[in-house]
Amino acid sequence: MLAEVVAAALVGMAALWLVLRPLLGPPRGPDLVQEPIDPEETPRGVALLALKEIEFDRETGKLSDADYQYLKDKYTAEALEAIRNEEGAAVPDDVEALIAHRVRALRSAAATAPPDAPACPSCGPRPESDAVYCSTCGGSLPAPAACANCGAALSPDSRFCEGCGNRVAA
């Protein structure tokens, strides 16, 4: 019986010590965990995100052309200033030339798309090989003419290849 009382007293004292230790001891410093800065939290990220948002709002009809142009000019200037302020960043003053260069690069990438890649009638080849809808305009892509697995001819409404059973549409 005495052993039980001693064990209960020890357990009680340990519990009391665990509870009171944070209150009576010196305060601990904050944990020094360094988290990387989220790119969207930088001035550049905020401005670029705002540009994406106003572009989306314009496409959905929430912004008039005048408001869109004002906001686009404002956030483009902020994004360029933030990019210029980053260490080692070199931004050309001619933004239109930069955009034209990017468009040429995207078009050349589309021209080198794999031959079996689906192609949108208005946007051209898509990078997704199993796409059913265009990722740019949302239009339906034409169905593949042959199975990519066995090469058998496919009917326009087929979801599976009749030759090998491979799924051909999402």
- What ranges do the domains of the chain cover? 39-91
DSSP class of residue 166? -
Q: Token pair for residue 157?
A: 């409404």
Measure the CA–CA gap between 168 and 141, rounded to whole angstroms. Answer: 13
Q: Of 121, 143, 114, which Cα lies nearest the Cα of 131?
A: 143
DSSP class of residue 40? G
Query: What pLDDT does 170 receive?
Result: 46
Query: What pLDDT does 145 receive?
Result: 67
Query: What pLDDT does 16 receive?
Result: 92
Query: What pLDDT does 112 receive?
Result: 58
Instruction: Provide the H-helix boundaries in the chain.
Output: 2-24, 43-59, 65-85, 95-111
Beta strands 124-125; 119-120: pairing state? antiparallel
Backbone phi, then psi, for 124, in 5-degree steps?
95, -165
pTM for this prediction: 0.35
Q: Token pair for residue 5?
A: 């009382």
Backbone phi, then psi, for 160, in 5-degree steps?
-135, 150
Query: What pLDDT does 158 receive?
Result: 74
Q: Which residue has the tokens 């059973």?
A: 165
Query: What pLDDT does 7 receive?
Result: 94
User: Digits of tens for pLDDT over the chain (170 positions)?
Assistant: 899 999 999 999 999 988 888 888 777 766 666 777 777 788 888 888 888 999 899 888 888 889 999 998 988 888 888 877 875 555 556 777 777 777 777 776 655 555 566 677 777 776 666 677 777 787 877 766 677 777 777 776 777 787 787 777 64
